[in-house]
A and B are shown apart, each in its own frame.
Chain A
């Protein structure tokens, strides 16, 4: 085994340990503390208040944080690779804007009250899907992919969607306004177990599929033309990855609302620690993103307990600060 592969294995183990620790903490922490040593017996007895808290609240949230954190991070890593732009994240491409507009439309028209709350994630996904569709078909002209055009179209759709949403917010009732704002801030509070299961399966499938494309993604680091010279069918690969990554991001937004920054900072952090080889970058981004979102969720639940902060607030502030710290450190290293 090469030294490189040993380092990779060690790093994945390290992340798994972090993730396990975060998982245990997230099950223990909350308004009602549940000691770790009681955890197994509570789950075995299948009764009582603590059992209800674990199975109805903490485990579902944990699963969502795990899958959404992981999924957003790999989509960020993939899209940054496809666009060769370090500032791209799932939401730059207008996916969150489209989803938010879809949700706002449903709330304003009252469809969620008539047909049920499940309409919100459905509308979110439909909005995200419509955006992906537009970006894809407007970005690809005469069979030729223009990465920059796709990026610009995504940014424009994002603007249009947020303006559309502001329009809806300005004409609707206070109650609806509150629902829209609450949704856009992002939350891991999801009562629908079907959605949670879908999210977990989709995130793991996303990880599996993108890892299959790790080598082509590695070649794309050199640009489309160079990747083609290396025998990679760049235009096909870019299309597949774009669709996979944005569907995954669309699903994340539909289920968890807009949880910003995870898809931007986690791949960056991982790249600066372990390098840009996608074979390790994808798996470590997934684990790192899961860890980050689980910890953020615990903080969101506990900082002003019994009230709860929107998780987007935590990921934005904590993520941003860590990111600035890392950037300033790496700059100093480069100078010295």
Chain B
């Protein structure tokens, strides 16, 4: 079996009121892994533990056999890039914003960008299709364009691991698909390892090879979407009645939600 690339062992981390409870898991190099789970299940806490925003109380997080807490902030930024659900709506041009991804490569008091910085930036702006509006300001972009710029910025960090925190939650379906198709392409073509928090179970099922279902600070279930997303598990964790079926094209599980009204009607039918 292939060895784990991102390895999390006995992780305890969090706040007074809530913490992750001795988490253990690993994902392999080149995986497209998704973290799912209800609100308050610990997804974001786990995320912050990986990025270093939250101090770890116990356990280790290692990437490619390097313990993350032993890396400097700058080394970490060259290893892991983060895209959040809100890419900043600031009055900075797209190009300048994407260029910021080169910051971890600059020496302390380097004042100007190097030629290489510009080359790398241009390459990833083209790859993510933001090059055509590179002179626009970030606060003039649509939500979808801004997320693409966020991904371009993350790529210019040339990371080994791309962390995405609900990158599509603010977008309509066409932009959701556009963003996730891009991430999928980066994953398959560049071999970039991706770990993504995502609320939408259908998108999680469709795009991720591997899912980690969190609940109450614990890892509830892990595996391929078909193993994790059965209706029983979802009902247990989300306390919601759902139906699942196989997507005829992708053969991955698709989840259907049912309103209370319909549910009570169908119960009556069942009784009579």
Binary interface encoding of chain B residues 145-158 relative to chain A, with 1 for a CB under 8 A from any of its CBs, else 0: 00000000000010
CA distance A300 to B140 in the complex (A): 42
A5's partner among B96, B100, B109, B112 (CB-CB below 8 A) is: B112
Kindly list chain A residues whose C-beta atoms are within 8 Å of the C-beta of B52.
228
- Given A214-B111, A225-B53, A230 contacting B103 (CB threshold 8 A): yes
Contact segment of B28-36, B70-78, B198-206, B221-229? B70-78
B143, CB-defined interface residue at 8 Å = no
Q: Closest 4 interchain pairs by CB? A: A231-B77, A231-B104, A231-B74, A229-B82
A232, CB-defined interface residue at 8 Å = yes
Least Cβ–Cβ distance between B73 and chain A, in angstroms: 5
B109's partner among A212, A219, A221, A230 (CB-CB below 8 A) is: A212
A222, CB-defined interface residue at 8 Å = yes
CA distance A229 to B79 in the complex (A): 10
Kindly list chain A residues whose C-beta atoms are within 8 Å of the C-beta of B91.
275-276
B141, CB-defined interface residue at 8 Å = no
B51, CB-defined interface residue at 8 Å = yes
B106, CB-defined interface residue at 8 Å = yes
Q: Is the CB of A228 within 8 A of B112?
A: no
* Contact-size category for B: 20 to 34
Kindly list chain A residues whose C-beta atoms are within 8 Å of the C-beta of B213.
none
CA distance A230 to B98 in the complex (A): 11
B73's partner among A218, A222, A231 (CB-CB below 8 A) is: A231
Contacts A229-B77, A231-B76, A277-B96 known; list 15 others, CB within 8 Å: A215-B106, A218-B100, A219-B100, A221-B88, A223-B88, A226-B82, A226-B84, A228-B52, A229-B51, A229-B81, A230-B100, A230-B103, A232-B103, A233-B73, A275-B91
Binary interface encoding of chain A residues 256-278 relative to chain B, with 1 for a CB under 8 A from any of its CBs, else 0: 00000000000000000001110
Binary interface encoding of chain B residues 81-98 relative to chain A, with 1 for a CB under 8 A from any of its CBs, else 0: 110100010111000100
CA distance A277 to B101 in the complex (A): 15
Kindly list chain A residues whose C-beta atoms are within 8 Å of the C-beta of B75.
231
CA distance A7 to B109 in the complex (A): 22
Kindly list chain B residues whose C-beta atoms are within 8 Å of the C-beta of A215.
103, 106, 110-111
Within residues 98 to 157 of chain B, which ones have a CB less than 8 A from any CB in chain A?
100-101, 103-104, 106, 109-112, 157
